[in-house]
C-alpha cells in the first residue's frame, strides 16, 4: 500500500491506485497517486516510451505503476506529510481503467456540492479525503467497540431481519410473503424483542452492530435505515448498564479521538423533570463553551415518566388513552409496580429508563425490562391492548417470560449519530457510505422504484393508485 512506501527507499515497487493529480511539463511528468491508504508523488523522466503513456494520463484513471522509491533531497522534504520524504521514479505505467471527467472536483471538500448530485455519484464522493476519513473513522469506532465488549465477555449475536410486525412505536417496513398470501414479514425497528429472548435463552451478555429500519418522517439525524450498537445484559441494575457504557464511551474518545476533551467525568445525571425545566427538552446540550468543536459534554437523563397521554404522542400505532415514552417492554421503578398492577395514578409512574446525550443529541437509550409476564401484561393493558391482542402480538414474549427469564436490561446507541458528532459533521448522511436523501430516496440506485406487475402478482398484491 502507498502508506508503506517510505520503508522501501532504494527498492523497486509496484503500486496500484488512482491518478490524483497529473502535471505534464514536456520532458518530465509529475503525478500524485493515491489509494485508500494515502498519496505519493511520482515522476517520469529520461524514458521516452514511458513518458508517452504518462502524457495521456488524467485524474481518476486507474493505473499500475512500477518504479523505484527515491529519497527526496533535504530541501524538498515535506515535513508532516505522508511520503513527504520520498518520490517514486516511474519505470512503467499500465492503464487499468480510464475515467470520464468527474461531475465535481474530488480534491476538494464536497459539502458545497448539491447533495442530490453527491448521492447520485456517491462512489465519486467516497473518493474525497473527508468522506474517506469519515468511513475509516466509522470502521475504527466499530472495531474499538467490538474489541472492548469482547474483553468484557459479551457475545456478538445476529438477530433476524425478517420478523413480525408488532406495535412498538414507528411504522414498520413490510415485506409481503410469496409463500403465504396476505401475510407479511416486518423489517426490524430494532432487535428489542430478540435481544430479550436471548436473555431468556441464557446468554447473559449480548451485543450487536445492528441494522434497523423505521418508516418514519425524516430529518438531518434520521434515515430510513440506520445502525445501532445494541446491548443487553442479565442480572444487572441501571447503574451496572450505565457504568459499562460510560466507561466504553470514555475509552472510545480517549483512544480514537485524543484531540477531544470530555467536559465532565463521571457524566452528570439529570432527572427528566429537571432537564425539561432547565433546558426545555430531554436531550440537553450542557456544553460550557459551544464554540469549542472538540468539547464533548455527555450526560445521562434519568427518571423518565413511563406513560404519556396518546394525544401528546406521534405514535401511529397507539391504541389507548396512554402510550409509552420509550419502550413498552420497560420496567417501572420498584416503588411504582403496585400502580402498574392496579392501573392507578398512571401519570406518576416512573420508568427505569435512561438516555445518554451528547452536545444536544440523544445518542442512546435503554431501560431495565419487565421480565415478569404479569407486569408486562399490565403495562400492555394500560397502553390499550386487549388480552386477545396481547396474545396475538406479544404471546411469544409472554411464554418466554414464563419459562424462567432472568431480570435484564440494556441500551442501544445510535452509532451514525455518535460518529456524526465525533467527526464534526452536520448530519448522519456524511458518515454513511451509501445514504439516502432527507426524503428517503436513493438517487444513485433510483429507489424506491416501481417493479414489474408480475412481481406484484407473485406476491398476491394489487397496486391502487390515488387520483
HEC assignment per residue over 297-312? CEEEEECCECEEEHHH
For the chain, helix, strand, coil in percent to 5 are 30, 25, 40
> What's the pLDDT at 322?
87
Q: Is the peptide bond before 292 cis (omega within 30 degrees of 0)?
A: no
DSSP three-state, residue 186: strand
> What's the pLDDT at 302?
97
* Cα 429-327-245 angle, rounded to 5 deg: 65
* Alpha-carbon Rg for the chain in angstroms: 27
Does the domain spanning 2-97 belong to CATH 3.40.630.30?
no
- Helix axis angle for 238-256 and 129-151, nearest 10°, is 140
> What's the pLDDT at 323?
86
How far apart are alpha carbons 460 and 180 in whole angstroms? Answer: 9
> What's the pLDDT at 300?
98
User: Residue 239 corresponds to which cell in the numbers above?
Assistant: 447503574
How far apart are alpha carbons 467 and 461 in whole angstroms? Answer: 19
Q: Which residues pair with 155 in a beta bridge?
A: 206
Query: 390-402: string of b/e by CB count within 10 Å (b at 16+)?
Result: beebbeebeebbe
Domain ranges of the chain: 2-97, 306-348+372-393
Which residues of the chain fall below pLDDT 50?
A: 313, 316, 318
Burial bucket for residue 66 (CB in 10 Å: 0-12, 13-18, 19+): middle
Amino acid at each position: 500500500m502507498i502508506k508503506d512506501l517510505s520503508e522501501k527507499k532504494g527498492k523497486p515497487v509496484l503500486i496500484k491506485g488512482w491518478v490524483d493529480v497529473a502535471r505534464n511539463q514536456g520532458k518530465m511528468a509529475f503525478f500524485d497517486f493515491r489509494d485508500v491508504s494515502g498519496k505519493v508523488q511520482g515522476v517520469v523522466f529520461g524514458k521516452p516510451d514511458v513518458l508517452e503513456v504518462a502524457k495521456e494520463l488524467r485524474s481518476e484513471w486507474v493505473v499500475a505503476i512500477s518504479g523505484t522509491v527515491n529519497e527526496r533531497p533535504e530541501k524538498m522534504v515535506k515535513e508532516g506529510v505522508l511520503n513527504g520524504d520520498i518520490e517514486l521514479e516511474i519505470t512503467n505505467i499500465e492503464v487499468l481503467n480510464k475515467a470520464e471527467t468527474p461531475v465535481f472536483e474530488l480534491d476538494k471538500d464536497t459539502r458545497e456540492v448539491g447533495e442530490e448530485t453527491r448521492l447520485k455519484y456517491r462512489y465519486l464522493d467516497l473518493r474525497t479525503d473527508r468522506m474517506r476519513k469519515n468511513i475509516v473513522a466509522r470502521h475504527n469506532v466499530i472495531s474499538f467497540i467490538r474489541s472492548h465488549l469482547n474483553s468484557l465477555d459479551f457475545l456478538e449475536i445476529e438477530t433476524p431481519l425478517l420478523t413480525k410486525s408488532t406495535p412498538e412505536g414507528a411504522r414498520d417496513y413490510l415485506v409481503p410473503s410469496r409463500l403465504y398470501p396476505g401475510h407479511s414479514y416486518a423489517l426490524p425497528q430494532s432487535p428489542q424483542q430478540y435481544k430479550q429472548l436471548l436473555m431468556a435463552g441464557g446468554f447473559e451478555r449480548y451485543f450487536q452492530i445492528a441494522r434497523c429500519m423505521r418508516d418514519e418522517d425524516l430529518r438531518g439525524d434520521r434515515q430510513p435505515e440506520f445502525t445501532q450498537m445494541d446491548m443487553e445484559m442479565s442480572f444487572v441494575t441501571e447503574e451496572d448498564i450505565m457504568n459499562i457504557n460510560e466507561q466504553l464511551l470514555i475509552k472510545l474518545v480517549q483512544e480514537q479521538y485524543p484531540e477531544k476533551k470530555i467536559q465532565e467525568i463521571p457524566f452528570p445525571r439529570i432527572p427528566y423533570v429537571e432537564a425539561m425545566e432547565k433546558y426545555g427538552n430531554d436531550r440537553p446540550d450542557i456544553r460550557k463553551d459551544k464554540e469549542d468543536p472538540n468539547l464533548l459534554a455527555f450526560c445521562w437523563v434519568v427518571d423518565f415518566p413511563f406513560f404519556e397521554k396518546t394525544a401528546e404522542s406521534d405514535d401511529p400505532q397507539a391504541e389507548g388513552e396512554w402510550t409509552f415514552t420509550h419502550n413498552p417492554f420497560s420496567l417501572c421503578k420498584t416503588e411504582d409496580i403496585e400502580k402498574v398492577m392496579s392501573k392507578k395514578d398512571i401519570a406518576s409512574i416512573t420508568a427505569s429508563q435512561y438516555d445518554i446525550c451528547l452536545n444536544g443529541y440523544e445518542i442512546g437509550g435503554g431501560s431495565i425490562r419487565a421480565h415478569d409476564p404479569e407486569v408486562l401484561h399490565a403495562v400492555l393493558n394500560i397502553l390499550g391492548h386487549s388480552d386477545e391482542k396481547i396474545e396475538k402480538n406479544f404471546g411469544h414474549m409472554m411464554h418466554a417470560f414464563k419459562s424462567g427469564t432472568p431480570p435484564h436490561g440494556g441500551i442501544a446507541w445510535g452509532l451514525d449519530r455518535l460518529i456524526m458528532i465525533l467527526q464534526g459533521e452536520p448530519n448522519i448522511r456524511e458518515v454513511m457510505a451509501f445514504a439516502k436523501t432527507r426524503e428517503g430516496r436513493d438517487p444513485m440506485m433510483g429507489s424506491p422504484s416501481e417493479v414489474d406487475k408480475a412481481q406484484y402478482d407473485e406476491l398476491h398484491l394489487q397496486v391502487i393508485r390515488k387520483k
